[in-house]
Structure 1
Amino acid sequence: MKKVPTFEDLFRDCRRTAVHLEMRDAYMKSDPAFIDWKAGKTLDPAERWADWHAIVTEAASRGVEVRRARIVSTPVSEYIRFEHAVTDGLNIAAGEDVRWLSRRQATDIALPGNDFWLFDSSLVLLNHFDGEGENMEMELTEAPEVAELCEAAFAAVWKRATPHAEFELS
């Protein structure tokens, strides 16, 4: 396993595309932002996640196409409602294009076992979570067969997925 560079390093070195596939219904429910959202507090995503916002904005301003697809169970979980609520102010505002796909519509798509980022169609950052969506560990690989699987999976999901502005929570 290679030493994993920071997200800032990965985005700084990226030249063409950075795509992210998320397939869990909950992540890090201990996140203070999620806890605040559940408590009804108003969040400013660009302020709360300023570092992330800056990294993505910089990459997008260089012409990197940043896309994120989320496969979700329906009806959606409380955590997915949170993600949906902050997507405009965080992801879209930073320059990401985001789409959503009901898990029911993904049955016949060959998917990798883990969420991932794919940079320039060749560098894969795999995200490993425990059963509760906590304790993320990252693994970096340039294995061509992994990159090809991730690229094909993302393309298939993206083609079927609904743009964020049109996705209705159920």
Structure 2
Amino acid sequence: MSNYASQHLDRLRDKLRPLMVPPQMASHRLSLKYVLIIGRSAELEHHEARRLRLANYGAERNLRIMTYDTIYREVAAGYNKPKAVLRANSRGYFLQSAEGMPAHMFSYIMPAQLELSAAAEAALRAETYDIDAWKRNEPLNFNEKWTRASEPSLYDGMHSAVKGLLSRQKKRNGDNGAD
């Protein structure tokens, strides 16, 4: 796995491009770190040999092997922050979990590249994200959650230079409607 990714950095960069926000990140050097998440801790509790074999396998390949339970314990203890869980698919990505969302994700990634699980969509709606507008290909530019139409009072109070910037971004995203 690591050799393939290291040898095909251009392909990997193309696959990751929708996640690289702001878009200028796509020109940065890629640094690869590998994590393999393998089920639940209970599957390893009574199998010392399996646990040692996995630890050795990971150490030999610069690969961190962990379970979902390990992630939960690290977050609960404050050693790690919750992270969104994305799975690559043929269209782009599938958002399985909306915990710890990356900043401005819905300002740059549109529905053509990102599908939402029912649980992720419900969590985002509960956090007042304007998912209906996003599904209409409207970037969520205000506080990462809303469009100009979602929160018109935010837009009305903006400096004219910021309004101009948003207008240019809207045109770049293919919406040539009036501002």
Give TM-score scaled by structure 1 length. Answer: 0.27
Flag the structure with larger Rg.
2
Higher strand share: 1
Q: Which structure has greater helix proportion?
A: 2
TM-score, structure 2 as length reference: 0.26
